[in-house]
Structure 1
Amino acid sequence: MEESVLLRPLGGKSVLRGQLEQLLLVGQKRNVEIQLMPLDREDNAGMDGPFTVITRKGGQQLVYMEVQGRSSLRTDREETRLAATRYGIIRSQALTPRETMGFIEKLLGEL
């Protein structure tokens, strides 16, 4: 997720506090990794917008994209391979899960 979504106090500070606390709880689960893309990154591979890479049993990959109220499901092998590669690049550019949890804890302490 991008840092900016953690800085918007939509619903007020108490709502933001609850959201940050929930992220910390969920982020402690063994099967969850939360990574934050800091605002100070001059460029990142996620600038074109959000997408979800889905890997089915058997290894087939799909890419789901949603923007401006429209959704698209891509199944082309080359498109899905590129999206999976982009996802890996985004993860390498973002804070690690441990750094992300520390960042969220810091924000929570500042509220």
Structure 2
Amino acid sequence: MVNIRSLDPSASPLDYYGSELRRLREDAGLSQSQLGEAIFCTGSLIGQIETAHKVPTREFSERIDAALMTGGFFSRLVGLVLRSQLPSWFQEYAEMEAKAAYISTYQCQLVYGLLQTPAYARAVLSVEYTDRLEEMVAARVERQRILEREKPPVLWAVLDEAVLFREIGGREVMRGQLEHLLTFSREPWVQIQVLPFEAGEHAAVMGSFNVLRFDSNPDLFYSESYDSGHMTANPQVIRERSVGYSRLQATALSVEESAELIARVMEERYGHGAVA
């Protein structure tokens, strides 16, 4: 039996998406099965999304736009839907990250979210989000779309050398992740440095942090703990962390040396001939 659960479009972006999908499908005179056949999925999937039981993907949204001739409506809406799947304490940061002109990040354990492959992100997120893993992975990949803009933000990432050796998801996943990092050497807006073990004590021994800079708003400092994020525009904090970040950049390997190290670790530790 067709699920006709009533939705409150104002309850969430997902509910709004579902209610609009149902309305426009019915306006087009299509059943769930007919629309599913048109976009190469099941009518059941259409029903699950219309009733907010399943989160739509970007690919699904693009196909819906083409089938219902909605002028890109769902492709625009899906970004909001996916962002709403992020933890509530992280959503404010994600919104500011998307508006930033310059992102500086130091990561001591993991590759920064904007630079993660889907496989690496899935392995990281599977630790905490087993019940809605695919939604969380889709939301993380959606965040990365800011790097595909015509004018993307400048992203400068300093990764602790430990990030390269922490085997997330297994050797194949790590090889793919390090190979992905190397592809950014062709992107002038993305710079990646590695802070080597031999640096010893350094300006970020207290942990990972980000500094966001904007064209017309105050800079922001961001750090997080287990289940919460802390964001501040306090000028003294910004000044101290900006100086600290500059010291990290000076201590880290150059961009070119970092790429060489990433490539070497990729082959020696995660290459097909490497010893497990």
Q: TM-score, normalised by structure 2?
A: 0.39
- Determine the structure 1 residue equivalent to 2:216: 58
For residue 266 of structure 2, what is the amino acid of its counterpart? L
Q: Deviation of residue 10 (structure 1)?
A: 2.1
What is the root-mean-square deviation of aligned Cα atoms in Å? Answer: 1.3
**Any gaps of 5 or more consecutive residues in structure 2?**
1-158, 272-276
Higher helix share: 2
Higher Rg of the two aligned structures: 2
- Determine the structure 1 residue equivalent to 2:196: 38
**Any gaps of 5 or more consecutive residues in structure 1?**
none
**1 CA distance for matches of 2:233 and 2:262?**
35
Which of 65, 71, 77 is residue 229 of structure 2 equivalent to?
Answer: 71
Q: How does 1:1-111 map to 2 (within 5 A)?
A: 1-58=159-216, 60-110=218-268, 111=271
What is the CA deviation profile of residues 55-93 of structure 1, one whole-angstrom value per residue up to 9, with x for unaligned ones? 122362111111222211111111111111111111111
Q: TM-score, normalised by structure 1?
A: 0.92
Count of aligned positions: 111
For residue 92 of structure 1, what is the amino acid of its counterpart? A
**2 CA distance for matches of 1:12 and 1:35?**
23
Q: Deviation of residue 13 (structure 1)?
A: 1.0
Percent identity, please: 29
Q: Identify the structure with bigger relative contact order (alpha carbons < 8 Å, sequence gap 6+).
A: 1
**2 CA distance for matches of 1:9 and 1:79?**
33
| Runs of 4 or more above 4 Å deviation | none
